[in-house]
Amino acid sequence: MDNSGANDDLAYLQVHAVGPDESFELREHSLGKALACAIIGLVALGLGGWLASLPMVFGPQTATAVVALLWAFGAGLAGIGLVALVCAWALYQRHGQCALAVTRDTVGFANALAPVPWEAFEGFDVEQRRLSTHLVFSLAAFGAAPVLKASSFKALAAPDAQLIAGGLRLKVWACNFTLTGRRLTLAELVDVLYPYLQAAQARRTLAQLFPAVARQGDALRRAGP
């Protein structure tokens, strides 16, 4: 009986089960977009106020329809300016906050009550939007969704995770993810995170195949310095 295939699979699992051991944090970088929103908001507010003040400049002879039109456009621009300033405030608050806290065995989210084991996920996708990067984790069939703090308006000012797809997926977005102050490209983000997920999945499979060895390895690791 040829067991070469099984031996290859076992060797593959053993190699990848080692995985990286470093802990790090991925942080949000949103200062540039916060500044852009602030500039847009101030300009819109200024234009809105200028348009709304034109009827007083033109005098009482200004037609009522023109006055109403100027006020409507002015109010609209002022509203856009206020929204942009709120966005600027939220993005400024997000800047520098921890979006993901990664360890060998777990990944922590900003609003999760406890870190989530890597093995609870079966994979993740990275999506590049026009103004942000989205990390979407897919929960494994045996994985339990993390308990997240109740969201509120202030959640916009933090890189909080969100359960989507009926609790089967977990989404985190940031303007830019950074590691030790350096912005990560999509490829770099995948290269940083995937080895941790791959190693956790390999360790879980080995633990199912050899539970006694897995328990002994965990005990030795906990007893280590």
- 114/192 same-domain check: yes
**Is 206 within a domain?**
no
Which range is least confidently modeled, 49-58, 78-87, 148-157, 162-171?
A: 148-157
pLDDT tens per residue across span 45-80 = 999 999 888 877 777 777 778 788 888 999 999 999
Determine the pLDDT at residue 123.
93
Domain range for 124: 20-29+97-196
User: How buried is residue 199: exposed, middle or buried, by Cβ count under 10 Å (0-12/13-18/19+)?
Assistant: buried
Task: Using DSSP, state whether 169 is helix, strand or coil.
Answer: strand
* Among 110, 88, 94, 106, residue whose Cα is nearest residue 160: 110
Residue 204: which residues within 8 A CB-CB, separation 6 or more? 119
CA distances from 225 to 20, 110, 200, 215, 220 (A): 17, 28, 21, 18, 10
CA distance 196 to 144: 18
- 149/178 same-domain check: yes
- 47/141 same-domain check: no
pLDDT band for 156, please (50, 70, 90 cuts): confident
* Among 72, 81, 94, residue whose Cα is nearest residue 159: 94
Determine the pLDDT at residue 52.
86
- 133/161 same-domain check: yes
- 76/107 same-domain check: no
- 68/114 same-domain check: no
Q: Tell me which of 90 and 64 has the higher pLDDT.
A: 90
Total-model pTM = 0.79
Domain boundary among 53, 72, 94: 94
